């Protein structure tokens, strides 16, 4: 067996070991049996929301088990084919099996990363907010570039993206925008993106073509499932309506339909500027519930809480990632050290390498914290 092929075999075995540690196949099969029994119970369908959640959880578990078995059987079958081909001098069989192993390496690596998405809310849909920081027009344009980057990333994942609210910049770009992104593990993937993002480039708005540094902040929090109770007393919130700004002309919203809700105890502010005021109230309240749920998650998880505290203001010294377009091209994550010169690819949504590295770092940090606690 060639050295490259042997390395691929070892990589797949390593991934299977890690996947097996995070998902005991026998236990998973028992859980599937329990899901099937619950779904067959007639009373379940009297609560459609609970039934749908069970269906989603069941499908996710089925996908995990079937993928694990696919990789495991694929590894064994292709190793046997390579050994058979080498014994019989059949180079065609060996080449075909080696190609299959390379595909399995890619699949196993992807599933290994997905296995890290096992937090309490990782499987949920997510809200994503972007706010321009220090830098004026430059930062508004940078915030708009970030919004495009995340929409492109979500579309590549097959996720659904809904614009919840948007405040345009005075000259260009946006002051802020809020999205709801829906799809499997949307929050789990995007949660590592919370923080300040720094851009360095030659400004298209500077007649002297000088280099500018801009900042924008990103804030990610999970959409709260209907079965999670978040109590918000009426006297804890203030609801304001206002006229949302538009593109001008016939597109101007001429009614005070936009809604801003302020949670007085925490000073959290959420907005929605869609067409219907009733719809805006519902969207904004859902966003507020999710923000409060995120605060509760932060209290339970010291690592998440530390990351939130480190986020800071959208300015110097608080960035998690730098995007340098001049005098050279480089995107570097300051938490993990992961970097690439493919700035165009990143700004078009190629973000998985950064998210995966941060997920792995978070898991390693939690493991060390648990070990220290036991000591």
Kindly state whether residues 170 and 319 are assigned to the same domain. Answer: yes
Give the CATH number, domain containing residue 172.
3.30.70.1660
Q: Which residues face 272 on adjacent strands? A: 259
Residue 121 lies in a domain: no
Q: Which of 60, 93, 114 is where one domain is finished?
A: 114
Kindly state whether residues 34 and 179 are assigned to the same domain. Answer: no
Give the CATH number, domain containing residue 79.
1.20.58.410
Provide φ and ψ at 241, rounded to 5°.
-110, 150
Q: What is the pLDDT of residue 61?
A: 83
Kindly state whether residues 83 and 134 are assigned to the same domain. Answer: no
Kindly state whether residues 186 and 310 are assigned to the same domain. Answer: yes
Contact in structure between 129 and 176 (CB atoms under 8 Å)? yes
Q: Which residues face 181 on adjacent strands? A: 126, 161
Q: Which domain holds residue 11?
A: 3-114
- Total domains in the chain come to 2
Q: What is the pLDDT of residue 275?
A: 66
At what angle are helices 352-374 and 302-311 packed, to 10 degrees?
A: 130
At what angle are helices 302-311 and 277-300 packed, to 10 degrees?
A: 120
Strand, helix or coil for residue 310: helix
State in Å, rounded, how far the first CA of the chain is from the last one: 44
Kindly state whether residues 7 and 90 are assigned to the same domain. Answer: yes
What does the alpha-carbon distance between residue 217 and residue 320 come to, in Å, rounded to a whole number?
Answer: 10
Contact in structure between 197 and 212 (CB atoms under 8 Å)? no
Kindly state whether residues 145 and 75 are assigned to the same domain. Answer: no
What does the alpha-carbon distance between residue 2 and residue 270 come to, in Å, rounded to a whole number?
Answer: 58
* Residue bearing tokens 């595909």: 103
Residue 375 lies in a domain: no
Residues 6+ apart with CB under 8 A from 263: 232, 236, 237, 269, 288, 291, 292
Q: Cα angle vertex 45, ends 40, 46, to 5°?
A: 140
Q: What is the pLDDT of residue 225?
A: 63
Contact in structure between 222 and 126 (CB atoms under 8 Å)? yes
Kindly state whether residues 13 and 101 are assigned to the same domain. Answer: yes
What does the alpha-carbon distance between residue 326 and residue 333 come to, in Å, rounded to a whole number?
Answer: 17
Kindly state whether residues 143 and 169 are assigned to the same domain. Answer: yes
Kindly state whether residues 109 and 165 are assigned to the same domain. Answer: no
What does the alpha-carbon distance between residue 8 and residue 53 come to, in Å, rounded to a whole number?
Answer: 37
| β-strand pairing of 195-202 with 319-324 | parallel
**What ranges in 301-351 are assigned the alpha helix state H?**
302-311, 343-347
Q: What is the pLDDT of residue 224?
A: 78
**What ranges in the chain are assigned the alpha helix state H?**
3-22, 25-39, 48-88, 91-114, 137-157, 186-190, 277-300, 302-311, 343-347, 352-374
Contact in structure between 169 and 131 (CB atoms under 8 Å)? no
Kindly state whether residues 110 and 163 are assigned to the same domain. Answer: no
Q: What is the pLDDT along the chain (375 residues), one digit of tens a residue?
A: 889 999 999 999 999 988 887 777 778 888 888 888 887 776 777 877 778 778 878 887 888 889 899 999 999 999 999 999 999 999 999 999 999 999 999 999 888 888 788 777 888 899 999 999 877 889 999 999 999 999 999 999 999 999 988 999 988 999 999 999 999 889 999 999 999 999 999 988 887 878 889 999 999 988 876 556 678 888 999 998 887 654 443 333 344 678 899 999 888 888 888 767 778 888 888 888 888 887 776 665 554 445 444 444 555 556 899 999 998 999 999 999 999 999 999 999 999 999 999 988 876 655 555 555 555
Q: Let me know how long the chain is.
A: 375
What does the alpha-carbon distance between residue 230 and residue 342 come to, in Å, rounded to a whole number?
Answer: 42
DSSP state of 47: S
Residue 119 lies in a domain: no
Residue 221 lies in a domain: yes
Kindly state whether residues 96 and 152 are assigned to the same domain. Answer: no
Q: Which residues face 178 on adjacent strands? A: 129, 165
Kindly state whether residues 57 and 151 are assigned to the same domain. Answer: no
State both tokens at 295. 């605060």
The pTM (predicted TM-score) of the whole model is 0.69
């Amino acid at each position: 067996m060639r050295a490259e092929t042997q390395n691929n075999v070892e990589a797949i075995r390593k991934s299977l070991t890690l996947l097996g540690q995070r998902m005991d196949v026998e236990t998973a099969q028992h859980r599937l049996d329990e899901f099937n029994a619950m779904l067959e119970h007639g009373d379940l369908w009297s609560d459609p929301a609970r039934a749908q959640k069970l269906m989603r959880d069941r499908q996710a578990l089925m996908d995990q088990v079937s993928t694990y078995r696919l990789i495991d059987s694929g590894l064994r079958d292709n190793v046997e084919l390579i050994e058979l081909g080498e014994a019989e001098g059949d180079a065609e069989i060996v080449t075909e099996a080696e190609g299959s192993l390379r595909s399995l390496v890619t699949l196993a690596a992807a599933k290994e990363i997905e296995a890290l998405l096992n937090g309490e809310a990782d499987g949920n849909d997510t809200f994503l907010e972007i706010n321009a920081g220090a830098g004026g027009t430059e930062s508004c344009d940078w915030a708009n570039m970030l919004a495009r980057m995340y929409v492109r990333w979500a579309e590549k994942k097959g996720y659904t993206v809904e614009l919840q609210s948007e405040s345009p910049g005075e000259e260009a770009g946006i002051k802020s925008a809020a999205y709801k992104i829906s799809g499997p593990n949307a929050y789990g993937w995007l949660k590592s993106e919370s923080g300040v993002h720094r851009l360095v480039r030659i400004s298209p708005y500077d007649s002297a073509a000088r280099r500018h540094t801009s900042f924008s902040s990103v804030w990610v929090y999970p959409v709260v499932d209907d079965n999670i109770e978040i109590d918000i007393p009426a006297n804890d919130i203030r609801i304001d309506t206002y006229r949302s700004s538009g593109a001008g002309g016939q597109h101007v919203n001429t009614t005070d339909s936009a809604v801003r809700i302020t949670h007085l105890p925490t000073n959290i502010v959420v907005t929605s500027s869609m067409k219907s005021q009733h719809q805006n109230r519902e969207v904004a309240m859902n966003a507020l519930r999710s923000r409060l749920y995120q605060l509760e998650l932060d209290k339970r998880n010291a690592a998440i809480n530390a990351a939130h505290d480190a986020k800071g203001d959208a300015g110097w010294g608080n960035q998690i990632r730098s995007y340098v377009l001049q005098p050279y091209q480089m995107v570097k994550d300051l938490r993990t050290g992961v970097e690439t010169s493919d700035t165009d690819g990143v700004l078009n949504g190629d973000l998985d390498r950064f998210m995966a590295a941060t997920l792995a770092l978070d898991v390693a940090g939690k493991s060390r914290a648990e070990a220290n606690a036991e000591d």
